[in-house]
Chains A and B, each alone.
Chain A
Amino acid sequence: MIVRTPVFLIICLAVGAVVFGLSLEVGNDYVFFAGYVILQYVVLSTAWNILGGYCGYVNFGTAAFFALGAYSTVAIYKLIGDNDLPHIMPMPVLMLVGGVVSGIVGFGMGYLTLRLRGAFFSIATLALAVVLQTLVVNWDYVGGSRGAYVIRPEEMPFIGSYVRYLFLMMLLLAIAAIAIARLIEHSKLGYGFATIRDDELAAEALGVPTLRLKLIATTISGALMGMAGAPFPYYIGYLQPDSTFALDYAVNSIAMPLIGGTTSWVGPLIGAVLLGTLQQVATVTISSAVNLLIVGCLLVGFVIIAPNGIIGLVHTFLQRRDEDFVGRRRVDADAPGAVP
């Protein structure tokens, strides 16, 4: 019934291989540039959804965690001072460092703010983004408000252009993020998260250690966002606080799960692929400035028509089609003594 995690991972890797293969087939590196951004949003929205969708805590600070990952890479780059950095510190290691830094900040933020609920928590996360941006702007070592240049290596052995390598790394991270989200969803942890979303008071009363679970969620969520940010300096070449802390990250990583559906790992994936692709197309055909407008309009539309996202729409459709039948069959199958 439910595919086991190793099997799921193999399926994901196979799909990833197909995606990478098809991208290579196009023979134009622009696919990788655009694809990288979409995959980055798959990671960000999946990460956001672990706290926002599963636990019901809306985080407006995605940009802060993303930027933390990006700036850890810049800090290491400055520390080593060598444009051969990816050979000394391979990208996976940089991503790991970014993840650890963001994870620690996520834990700290959670510890300080998780006693707040609803809008208060969201405002606190927004404040975190502002505070971090101010810190980075005033931190000369990583370029301050001037920004920092990172020189991208020309090529990677076996793969070709460096952007293909970055694409591949982000693809693997996206797969990892999705696998983690799915694993959580079907585990004891995921059920605990759902009780927090539904009714925190009742959850506590039934023995769910809500604060600890929320800290786990902010840490995992923050770490994944940081990992998504770590390769960014190499992708963009010139990292600047304004663009790294941009509103786009916060808004997109909220809008994508909402459009896809927040209760399952599939939602953020669908939302990110759909919205991310749309934005990339709009950037090429119209202007990149139209991106947030698209998000805004879609979000308004979905809130009115499908408040539970695309997943919710599909679910309702299926339920309506055979409501009684499904209900009866499922219960019968679970009744003791029933033949499976």
Chain B
Amino acid sequence: MNGAIADSLGGSDLLQIDNLGKRFGGFVALENISLSVAAGERLGLIGPNGSGKSTLVNCICGTLRNEQGTVHFDGRKLDGLEAHQRTRLGLARSFQLPRPFVSLSLFDNIRIPLLYTVSARGRLHTADEVEDRCMGLLREVGLEAKARRRPRDLTQVEMRKLELARAMAAEPKLLIADEAMAGLTHSEVEDILTLLVRLNEQGVTVILIEHIMRAVMSFSRRLVVLVSGKKIADGAPDVVVRDPEVERAYLGQ
């Protein structure tokens, strides 16, 4: 089903996951997950707590090693690559709980991916270029005025914006936003959504993992549902949410 959608979008597959499996001891966290994401897509990934969403992200990004299956990104096999190597290939993520570098200013937080990822790709050579880019990104998320502050001075939503801006600074082809809106108010959710849509319009493929259904439904063009480590649905959002199996997983029998 996913292949058909990728074809219908006319793009080639940016991310291709085949039969991915991950277990923690005896607990099967992910089982035979296959998923392909085309360039430019807006994919929503949902599932109840503990369904394996974050584990999937961690396996894609190299934070965890999958025992089974393969992950291809942009035509390259990712298995065996370290997380930072995957980032350099164009894969970026934000963390479920923001993980800012607490001893660095916001400016320097943003500078890290520029220094280590974008520079490694042979772009951005001078300090001025890096600085302009940092300030530009901070302006984009509205944190320009706090450039010299430390992350501890930020509010919850600002922290999330910093997290996203930092991931965006890596100039990814694919951004995985892991619950980037948890705990935010209605208007704050809109802020983050606007950011993600703008990013997508700039050509970045976005996978959004979210519990806030309103946000997922408005953002996603395609929805994937994970339950107990298995993919139970994949397709157009309005179809998927009416899928009886999905309803059962969310609402119980």
Which of A191, A331, A334 contacts B115 (CB under 8 A)? A191
Which of B82, B93, B116, B148 contacts A327 (CB under 8 A)? B148
Q: Is B103 within 8 A of A194, CB to CB?
A: yes
Given the contacts A195-B101, A198-B103, A205-B61, A331 and B87 also touching, CB distance less than 8 Å: no
Q: Which of A73-81, A150-158, A207-215, A247-255 contacts B (4 or more CB under 8 A)?
A: A207-215
Given the contacts A198-B102, A201-B63, A334-B148, A208 and B112 also touching, CB distance less than 8 Å: yes
A330 to B85, CA, bound (A): 35
Given the contacts A191-B104, A191-B111, A194-B101, A204 and B84 also touching, CB distance less than 8 Å: yes
Is B212 an interface position by the 8 A CB rule?
Answer: no
Residues of A within 8 A of B108 (CB): 191, 194
Q: Is B95 within 8 A of A205, CB to CB?
A: yes
Residues 183-213 of chain A: 1 if any B CB is under 8 Å from the residue's CB, otherwise 0?
Answer: 0000010011011011101111111111100
- Number of B residues whose C-beta is below 8 Å from A? 38
A336 to B107, CA, bound (A): 13
Distance to closest chain A CB from B125 (angstroms): 12
Given the contacts A198-B101, A336-B135, A205 and B93 also touching, CB distance less than 8 Å: yes
Distance to closest chain A CB from B144 (angstroms): 7
Q: In the complex, which residue of chain B has the Cβ closest to the Cβ of A328?
A: B145
Q: In the complex, which residue of chain B has the Cβ closest to the Cβ of A202?
A: B99
A270 to B86, CA, bound (A): 41
Q: Is B113 within 8 A of A206, CB to CB?
A: yes
Q: Is B148 within 8 A of A331, CB to CB?
A: yes
A263 to B117, CA, bound (A): 24
Which of A199, A207, A330, A335 contacts B117 (CB under 8 A)? A207
A194 to B112, CA, bound (A): 10
Interface residues of A toward B: which range? 20 to 34
A174 to B85, CA, bound (A): 37
Distance to closest chain A CB from B138 (angstroms): 10
Given the contacts A192-B116, A205-B92, A331 and B103 also touching, CB distance less than 8 Å: no
Distance to closest chain B CB from A34 (angstroms): 35
Which of B95, B107, B146, B170 contacts A207 (CB under 8 A)? B170
Is B149 an interface position by the 8 A CB rule?
Answer: yes
Q: Is B101 within 8 A of A205, CB to CB?
A: no
Which of B82, B102, B116 contacts A206 (CB under 8 A)? B116
Q: In the complex, which residue of chain B has the Cβ closest to the Cβ of A206?
A: B113
Q: Is B146 within 8 A of A201, CB to CB?
A: no
A197 to B103, CA, bound (A): 9
Is B211 an interface position by the 8 A CB rule?
Answer: no
Q: Is A263 within 8 A of B84, CB to CB?
A: no
Distance to closest chain B CB from A139 (angstroms): 38
Is B147 an interface position by the 8 A CB rule?
Answer: yes
With most chain B CB atoms within 10 A of its CB, the pick from A199, A205, A210 is A205
Residues 97-139 of chain B: 1 if any A CB is under 8 Å from the residue's CB, otherwise 0?
Answer: 0011111100110011101110010000000000000010000
For window 9-67 of chain B, which residues contact chain A by CB distance below 8 Å? Answer: 61-63
Q: Is B87 within 8 A of A205, CB to CB?
A: yes
Distance to closest chain A CB from B140 (angstroms): 13
Q: Is A206 within 8 A of B112, CB to CB?
A: yes
Q: Is A205 within 8 A of B112, CB to CB?
A: no
Distance to closest chain B CB from A200 (angstroms): 10
Listed by A's residue number, 19 A-B pairs whose Cβ atoms lie within 8 Å are A191-B108, A192-B112, A201-B63, A202-B101, A204-B63, A204-B87, A205-B63, A206-B169, A206-B170, A208-B84, A208-B116, A209-B84, A209-B85, A209-B116, A327-B149, A331-B145, A331-B148, A334-B147, A335-B144
Taking Cβ atoms with an 8 Å cutoff, the residues of A that contact B are 188, 191-192, 194-195, 197-199, 201-211, 263, 327, 330-331, 334-336
17 extra A-B contacts, CB within 8 A, seeds A191-B112, A327-B148: A188-B116, A191-B104, A192-B115, A199-B101, A202-B101, A204-B63, A204-B84, A205-B95, A206-B92, A207-B88, A209-B82, A209-B85, A330-B148, A331-B148, A331-B149, A334-B148, A335-B144
Q: Which 6 A-B pairs have the closest CB atoms?
A: A207-B117, A204-B83, A202-B99, A198-B101, A207-B87, A207-B116
